[in-house]
Amino acid sequence: MQDSECIIAVNKNGNAPIFEAADYGIEGDLFKVVPMLIEAIKAAKAAK
């Protein structure tokens, strides 16, 4: 992770230590959040 340009953390626990290292944090269930992120990225790409 130390060489990453952007870190996005998804975790059910809003107090998880990963959020301290992340650029963006989403509190929620990985299996619900990631499909929504994928669809949002696809929509943004299609709008260009």
pLDDT of residue 2: 82
pLDDT of residue 28: 97
pLDDT of residue 1: 79
Any residues with CB less than 8 A from the CB of 34 and at least 6 apart, and which?
Answer: 10
pLDDT of residue 16: 97
C-alpha distance from residue 23 to each of 5, 6, 45 (Å): 9, 6, 22
pLDDT of residue 33: 97
Q: Could you read off the pLDDT of 5-42 as tens digits, one per residue?
A: 999 999 999 999 999 999 999 999 999 999 999 999 99
